[in-house]
Structure 1
Amino acid sequence: MTATVASHRKTKQHPPAPLGGARTARTARTARTARTARTAAALALAGAAGVAAFDGTGQAAPRPTPAQVKGRVDALYQEAEVATQHYNGAKEQADAARAELSRLQDEAARRTQKLNAAKAQLGTMAGNQYRSGGVDPTVRLMMSADPQRYLDGATILERAGSHQANAVAGYARRLGSVRQIRDRAEATAERLERTEGTLRRQRVTIVRKLDSAEALLNRLTEQQRRRMTPEADPSGAPDDAGAQAPNSRAAHAVSFAYAALGKPYVWGATGPSAFDCSGLTQAAWKSGGVSLPRTTYTQIGSGPRIDRSQLAPGDLVFFYSGISHVGLYIGDGKMIHAPHPGAPVRIAPIDEMPFAAATRPA
């Protein structure tokens, strides 16, 4: 009995596993552990990536406040204004180059006609000489496919008769003149092409800035948008607006600006139905008989500088260190200006933006 109980209490013995089998078991356990670790890591990375994709920082970014949106939108509008002034300047240069190219092409056509007439005269001369016994080598050379060969010969004219020499000399002058005009036209065409490239780049910059500003504004409610946009001053032109202006031209400019109140801002526009900032001031002073250049950074040089304490109606007031915005002063610390897209021509205090300088067009 004792022996039987003892035999039952004996630890059950298992035969030792073969060496190869032990290694296989350990390898399987290691593979399962590695797979588990990889799965956990992948899940962790996926979760982190999802958060990062949401806000780029690993945690949700707080929604910007209306004040923050306004600050960024104002900065984007100001950057777009800078690009707009560069666009306006490039457009002015492109228009001038286009007009110059057209003039040069017309001039080249006229001079080519005269050149052809001179060549016909030489042809008649050559025909007469042939009938009388042969063509003079001078004229034969001139009638060749490459008349420049003749122009390069400094002693040719000395071998020709007086009448013939005058005809040949006239042809030479006209040939040189046509080539000169064509060279100028070619250089102007190349300049125009470069300027149009600048126009395209500035246009892209402007559109991107304005699209970014609009996307930010779309994150606000309508009430928030109204709150961050100042209301336009409904005031009409004061009775003494003309009397306060330093001269009749300035008075006309002020009256024009008042008449433009409420018209939309469109970048690159010079009226009459829409304006950008420098387009408005240019059109206003044009009504007074004064031709201003197109951009803010050229309009600032259109007359003597005026101290802020000496401002009078009609003066141009400029803003920001880069002189990227301009308005027309109307007195009482106010101006009329075209602010930015979505904000029509309006009256605003000149303290609304960083004041840079003032000019009185002459």
Structure 2
Amino acid sequence: MATHRRPKQPSRARISVLTGAAATAVALSAQVSAHAAPARPTKDEVRAQVDKLLEEQEAASERYNGAKERSEQLHKQTDQLQDQVARGQAQLTELTAGLAAVAAEEYRQGGVDPSMELMFSADPDDYLARAAGFDQAVNTQADTLRSLKEQQRRLDQQKQEAAAVLAELDRSTQALNGAKDEVQHKLQEAQQLLGTLSAADRTAILRGTDGDGSTASRSSNRVDPSTLPPAAGYAATAVRAALDQQGDPYKWAATGPDTFDCSGLMVYAYAKAGVSLPRTSQEQATVGTDVGTDWHQAQPGDLVIYHSNRSHVGMYIGNGLVVHAPRAGDVVRTMKVDAIAISTIRRV
């Protein structure tokens, strides 16, 4: 007859070891989960992040445009000052040489006491003529010395001005490079985010559509100028020039003729009308007459400045629309005038 042994019960120590091992496994599993790759962002999350990055990129682009414009002005100013310094130095050298010649002549004529020279002179008339020449040389020397001192003062001032402009140019160049680096960094971040999506979704986000070809608050269709209310004076030429660029790609820091950023499009269009606009949207927000923020008061050709930092600008064309160069990855097109918060409207 078989004997039945009672199963051996695990000891308390063994139970503790097993329980501890299980707890460790659970903890390790939790750590692995915590360090696992984060979930891919949704299309809407990518859209929000890209919108923010491209808005920041556009603001950096306008800072770059301003720094570039200032650098170009400073380069011209530096060249002019350096030319002035070179001419001033040449004049100073000429005056110094003239003064040395006068001093040498004075030495030659002043080698003998004038009274003794008159006493021994065989021809008093000749002596008097030479004495008058001597006095004239002395007077010339004094005049030359005064001119020399004045020229030296002007030269020192020009050198100080040139040094100050060069120092500002250096600061402007640093700002220019900093803004450029920021633009490129924002664009790279946006590109990395867009890389998580399909090509269709990337295009939809960059073009501001909903992915099915429809548009949210924006209009991507070309507008026929004949359907718009007429603009007055040179504004009509500017509106027509801006609309002619519909479909041209956005490119930061570009002012045409085939690529544009937002303020560059305004500069290009108004240049066609013979009007010179400042380079940045912030500067453009100060030109002409203030129309306020109510777009219903706008007229075709008015500049509509957007965002609290005034980093975007479009041109009102009538029918509640503006034409603008939106952002990287997009093209010159129209949108509803109030699709973005309006900062100010300016009549050029």
TM above 0.5, one fold?
A: yes
The structure-2 alpha-carbon separation of the partners of 1:292 and 1:184, relative to structure 1 and needing over 3 Å to count, comes to same
TM-aligned CA deviation for residue 46 of structure 1:
6.2
What SS does the aligned partner of 1:163 have?
A: helix
What SS does the aligned partner of 1:339 have?
A: coil
Q: Letter of the aligned partner of 1:235 in structure 2? A: R
Larger-gyration structure (1/2): 1
| Distance in 2 between residues matched to 1:45 and 1:99, nearest whole Å | 68
TM-aligned CA deviation for residue 106 of structure 1:
0.7
Q: Deviations over 1:59-87 (max 9, x none)?
A: xx433221111111111111111111111
Q: Which of 305, 321, 325 lines up with 1:338 in the alignment?
A: 325
What SS does the aligned partner of 1:297 have?
A: helix
Matched, 1:165 2:136: no
Aligned to 1:189: 166
**Alignment: residue pair count:** 296
| Distance in 1 between residues matched to 2:78 and 2:201, nearest whole Å | 51
Aligned to 2:36: 54
What SS does the aligned partner of 1:262 have?
A: coil
Aligned to 2:298: 311
What SS does the aligned partner of 1:85 have?
A: helix
TM-aligned CA deviation for residue 53 of structure 1:
3.4
What SS does the aligned partner of 2:343 have?
A: strand
Matched, 1:206 2:183: yes
List alignment gaps of at least 5 residues for structure 2. Answer: 1-12, 112-136, 214-218
Moved over 6 A (4+): 43-46
TM-aligned CA deviation for residue 349 of structure 1:
1.4
Matched, 1:267 2:252: yes
Aligned to 2:7: none
TM-aligned CA deviation for residue 49 of structure 1:
5.1
> CA contact under 8 A between 1:308 and 1:357: conserved in structure 2?
no
Aligned to 1:6: none
TM-aligned CA deviation for residue 355 of structure 1:
2.0
TM-aligned CA deviation for residue 240 of structure 1:
6.3
> CA contact under 8 A between 1:248 and 1:288: conserved in structure 2?
no
What SS does the aligned partner of 1:352 have?
A: coil
| Distance in 1 between residues matched to 2:31 and 2:105, nearest whole Å | 93
Q: Percent identity among equivalent residues?
A: 35
Q: Deviations over 1:69-110 (max 9, x none)?
A: 111111111111111111111111111111100110011111
| Distance in 2 between residues matched to 1:69 and 1:290, nearest whole Å | 40
Q: Letter of the aligned partner of 2:150 in structure 1? A: R
| Distance in 2 between residues matched to 1:226 and 1:284, nearest whole Å | 27
Aligned to 1:24: none
The structure-2 alpha-carbon separation of the partners of 1:46 and 1:176, relative to structure 1 and needing over 3 Å to count, comes to farther
| Distance in 2 between residues matched to 1:81 and 1:122, nearest whole Å | 61
The structure-2 alpha-carbon separation of the partners of 1:226 and 1:90, relative to structure 1 and needing over 3 Å to count, comes to closer
TM-aligned CA deviation for residue 197 of structure 1:
0.5
| Distance in 1 between residues matched to 2:43 and 2:29, nearest whole Å | 31
Aligned to 1:20: none
| Distance in 2 between residues matched to 1:240 and 1:271, nearest whole Å | 25
| Distance in 1 between residues matched to 2:72 and 2:42, nearest whole Å | 44
Aligned to 1:74: 51
Q: Which of 233, 251, 262 lines up with 1:248 in the alignment?
A: 233
TM-score normalised by length of structure 1? 0.75
TM-score normalised by length of structure 2? 0.78
Aligned to 2:310: 323
**What is the RMSD of the two structures over their aligned residues, measured on CA atoms?**
2.6
TM-aligned CA deviation for residue 133 of structure 1:
4.0
Matched, 1:177 2:177: no
| Distance in 1 between residues matched to 2:203 and 2:86, nearest whole Å | 60
Aligned to 2:65: 88
What SS does the aligned partner of 1:267 have?
A: coil
| Distance in 2 between residues matched to 1:98 and 1:236, nearest whole Å | 41
What SS does the aligned partner of 1:104 have?
A: helix
> CA contact under 8 A between 1:237 and 1:255: conserved in structure 2?
no
List alignment gaps of at least 5 residues for structure 1. Answer: 1-28, 56-60, 135-159
Q: Letter of the aligned partner of 2:35 in structure 1? A: A
